Structures are given as structure tokens and as C-alpha cells.
Amino acid sequence: MGIIFQQPNLLASLTAVEQLIIGHHLRGKPLKAARSRAAGLLDLVGLAASADKRPHQLSGGQRQRVNIARALMGSPKVLLVDEPTAALDHVHSASIVGLLRRVTNEFQVATVMVTHDTEFGPLTDAVAVMRDGGLTAPALPGAGGAE
């Protein structure tokens, strides 16, 4: 399982590539394999050129991309995504949701995303709406798949 938090929670002292490598290393995976996988994932999320930058040198959208790549390091079957666009403007929000759609398809991972931003419903396979603590009928037209 991979988790993408609302706030990326990156370690200030580590570079983007090290953010990915540390979790892989703590799982007991070989460091060389971790470095190669991390480089590939940073390239996938559009950050190959920023691999050696620390969090304070990255924009909010770039930090969230590191967060996504980090969640993919363990080859999860499920991604849990909590408000990934909360701190981003509209353009960066759309970019992050588009990236999540792409990695969901490419990695064949089930992605469960919690968001208040209903405009991205059409990019999903299914939508469930929670109101007053319970699930209600889907309210977003255009969402593909079974609801």
C-alpha cells in the first residue's frame, strides 16, 4: 500500500531522490536497486532534473510529485491519496490529478482519493460522495465506470 498525504511530509535534510531511497532501504531492499528505481520514478513524475534538490528548493507541486513517486517505490497494489491538491493552485492541482490518473493506469494500482475538489470527478472510474458521515448517491456527472 502506498500513501500520498495532503502535505508531502518530506525530510528537510534529504534530496528528492533520497526521500524515495530511504523507505526502500528501510524495507531491506538493496541500495543500488533503490537508487535506480527512484531515478526512474522521479523521471516519471517529471522531476529527473530536480533529483538532487532538497524540499525547500522545490515548489508545492514538485514536493507533491516527490510524494507520489515515494508512494510508488514499494510497488503498491493500492494508493491511498488524501487531498493531494489542497495546497495547490488550479493549474498545479489539475496536473497532480492528471498524474495520479496516469500512474493509476500505468502501474495498474487501485487509487482511492479523498478530495473536496469535485471538478476532477470526470477523471475517475467511480465517485462516492460522503455527506453528514454517510455515503450518498454519486453527485458528479461524467464520472466513468461503475458508481
More confident residue, 51 or 141: 51
What confidence tens digit (pLDDT) does each residue in 75-129 have? 999 999 999 988 888 888 999 999 999 999 999 999 999 988 888 888 888 888 8
| Cα–Cα nearest to 20, from 74, 70, 72, 71 | 70
Contacts for 40 with CB less than 8 Å, ≥ 6 apart: none
Asked if pLDDT for residue 22 goes beyond 70, the answer is: yes
Residues 70-74 have a mean pLDDT of 94
| Largest distance between two CA atoms of the chain | 49
Asked if pLDDT for residue 141 goes beyond 80, the answer is: no
Contacts for 79 with CB less than 8 Å, ≥ 6 apart: 1, 2, 3, 4, 71, 72, 100, 103, 104, 109, 110, 111, 112
| 73 alpha carbon, distance to own chain's centre | 11
What cell does 57 get? 528548493
What cell does 95 get? 496536473
Instruction: Please report which helix (H) or strand (E) contains residue 114, including its range.
Output: strand 110-114
Q: Which domains does the chain have, with CATH numbers?
A: 2-116 (3.40.50.300)
